[in-house]
Structure 1
Amino acid sequence: MSHTTTPAAPSFGIMTAPMQVTYEDILAVWREADTVPEIEHAWLFDHLMPIGGDPDGPIHEGWTLLSALAAQTRRLRLGLLVTSNRFRPPAVLAKIATTVDVVSGGRLDFGIGVGSRPHPPEARREYPAHGLPFQDTADAVRSLAEACTVIRRLWTEDEPFDFHGTQHHLTGAFANPKPVQRPHPPILIGGRSAATLRVAAEHADLWNIPGGDIEDVVRRSALLDRYCAEIGRDPAAVTRSIHLPVDYDRPAATRAAIDEALDAGFGHIVLGLPAPYPAGVARWVADELVSAHRPR
């Protein structure tokens, strides 16, 4: 079992995958969620081609859509679960994320991960289709660690700097403006591999893992504890976040999954909403899924 303790008041959010839906579909859900206090955060994902449903169906670019939704909401914290570090150079990504933090008035949670694995195959095809290289896993993990370092420095340092890593080289790197949030937006790292967990131990304020196999989730959380301890970091400094799929027809099953996650020390719950979205889905989430787990 993880050393971390469940926060007294867990936080609940929603995730709307921006594929096989219209902008208006997602905007309606986010606008409603923004008025529902029980829902504290909202998320998109970062793919360039659908990974489910019609492979040629519509999908929207995550950061562009996030900026639009940031301008259309007032309260929700928001982010991508998670940005593919393979898609954008880290200094460009830092600039994009800063812009969203500014547009949102300081509500960005910066989610990032290694990027798509070769599975599912639907995710692998994004790279050649967009002329993007697909690094091997070891290089991709090193790239993530360097990206986190570069992005944090761009957000916090007041003088230009050079950076020469194994994967990234910057000369005269500098960013103005800085994010609204100081010292910088919270960094959420998503993933389950041991190599990614080592990066999370060093860089993450939050760590997210997909739910489904709670025993594996608990093992991965304990491994993160160990990696934090090895570098002298308090494991409790990394908030544990989990993505749980919602079944509109079986809310009791989703509530049971939430109970398991909370018992395992995961106090940051992201509820994945399948499309099409029922009318009033945010209020339904609050009433059917969240209310049972909130302090009275």
Structure 2
Amino acid sequence: MTAPQQVDYLDVVRVWLEADGVPDIASAWLFDHLLPIAGTLDGPIFEGWTLLSALAAQTERLRIGLIVTSNRFRPPAMLAKIATTVDVVSGGRLDFGIGAGSRPSHPLARREYDAHGLPYSNADDAVASLAEACTVIRRLWTADAPFDFDGAHHRLTGAFGSPKPVQRPHPPIVIGGRATATLRVVAEHADVWNIPGGDIADAAGRSAMLDRYCADIGRDPAEIRRSIALPVSYERPTDTRAAITDALDAGFGHIVLMLPAPYPQGVAHWVADEIIGAAVR
């Protein structure tokens, strides 16, 4: 994962094109923020979906996505259209990441809503809006005829998506988050659940909670792949390898490695050799 902040466009392109040629790297990711949340607060940052479409057109093999889209930034019908476009441009390689949006306790994330004139609802409303958005987006990807939707947070009349995504019935839905209410949405809607990593014990506990929510609605928990995002240390790769081992042992089969900027030359090959290869041997 290359956070598109405090970097140049060509630096991101360089890393993605290199990673596209490294078989051990299965996917590449951006995040979804409008102002930097680390480093110089007035530094450069790129809009995630626009950048993702550009990278989709230049890569050939990698699965691609955002970990994860803020549902607060874009109306769900607009987001469905954007995601469909990226899936078509990529030839069917999109993993559709979505979440409720940044938590209110994160002031560096909160400021981007005010700076762009975007409303910032409370956590309960944000999660309820996310659940409706997942329903709307899936229907736009799969419905054969226009439909109306009258929800508490989203209302559409004559909604219809054409073209459809390349992937059928739709791109995999990756829902990110760790809050209890979000996990209930994950149980109902997600193909993949991603948690922003760090504390493996906490992540394992959240995973067990997700199992219980799946049981409550009669869904097999094994249908939801477990994903975790872990920071990469260029100086201490042994720490990163140890974190991967702990995550795999805890049942997280999908590992997203977050690369700090600036990106060294040959970083994708370095990750394959020093992190991935060494961790799985």
TM-score by length of 1: 0.94
Assess if the C-alpha contact under 8 Å between 1:81 and 1:190 holds in 2.
Answer: yes
- How many residue pairs get aligned? The number is 281
Structure 1 equivalent of residue 262 of structure 2: 276
Matched, 1:54 2:40: yes
1:209-288 equivalences under 5 Å are: 209-288=195-274
Matched, 1:113 2:99: yes
Aligned partners of 1:117, 1:214: CA distance in 2, in Å? 20
User: The residue matched to 1:269 in structure 2 has which SS?
Assistant: strand
Letter in 2 for 1:231: I
Assess if the C-alpha contact under 8 Å between 1:33 and 1:283 holds in 2.
Answer: yes
Matched, 1:147 2:133: yes
Assess if the C-alpha contact under 8 Å between 2:197 and 2:229 holds in 1.
Answer: yes
Aligned partners of 2:274, 2:196: CA distance in 1, in Å? 21
1:59-78 equivalences under 5 Å are: 59-78=45-64
Gap runs ≥5 in structure 1? 1-14
Displacement of 1:211 in angstroms is: 1.3
Letter in 2 for 1:51: I
Aligned partners of 1:253, 1:194: CA distance in 2, in Å? 29
Aligned partners of 1:185, 1:253: CA distance in 2, in Å? 33
Structure 2 equivalent of residue 80 of structure 1: 66
Letter in 2 for 1:70: A
Letter in 1 for 2:69: T
Gap runs ≥5 in structure 2? none
Pick one of 114, 118, 125 that aligns with 1:132.
118
User: The residue matched to 2:256 in structure 1 has which SS?
Assistant: strand
Aligned partners of 1:201, 1:127: CA distance in 2, in Å? 28
Letter in 1 for 2:232: V
Q: What is the aligned-residue RMSD (CA, Å)?
A: 0.7
Letter in 1 for 2:25: I
Aligned partners of 2:182, 2:25: CA distance in 1, in Å? 28
Displacement of 1:293 in angstroms is: 4.1
Pick one of 94, 100, 107 that aligns with 2:86.
100
Matched, 1:170 2:156: yes
Assess if the C-alpha contact under 8 Å between 1:51 and 1:120 holds in 2.
Answer: no
Assess if the C-alpha contact under 8 Å between 2:31 and 2:69 holds in 1.
Answer: yes
User: The residue matched to 1:109 in structure 2 has which SS?
Assistant: strand
Assess if the C-alpha contact under 8 Å between 1:33 and 1:39 holds in 2.
Answer: yes
Assess if the C-alpha contact under 8 Å between 1:114 and 1:144 holds in 2.
Answer: yes
Structure 1 equivalent of residue 77 of structure 2: 91
Structure 2 equivalent of residue 8 of structure 1: none
Aligned partners of 2:105, 2:231: CA distance in 1, in Å? 19
Aligned partners of 2:267, 2:135: CA distance in 1, in Å? 38
Aligned partners of 1:256, 1:211: CA distance in 2, in Å? 13
Letter in 2 for 1:34: D
Matched, 1:16 2:2: yes
Pick one of 186, 191, 197 that aligns with 1:205.
191
Aligned partners of 2:226, 2:66: CA distance in 1, in Å? 16
CA distances 1:22-63 after superposition (whole Å, capped 9, x unpaired): 110000000000000000000000000000000000000000
Q: Tell me the percent identity.
A: 75
TM-score by length of 2: 0.99
User: The residue matched to 2:204 in structure 1 has which SS?
Assistant: helix
User: The residue matched to 2:121 in structure 1 has which SS?
Assistant: coil
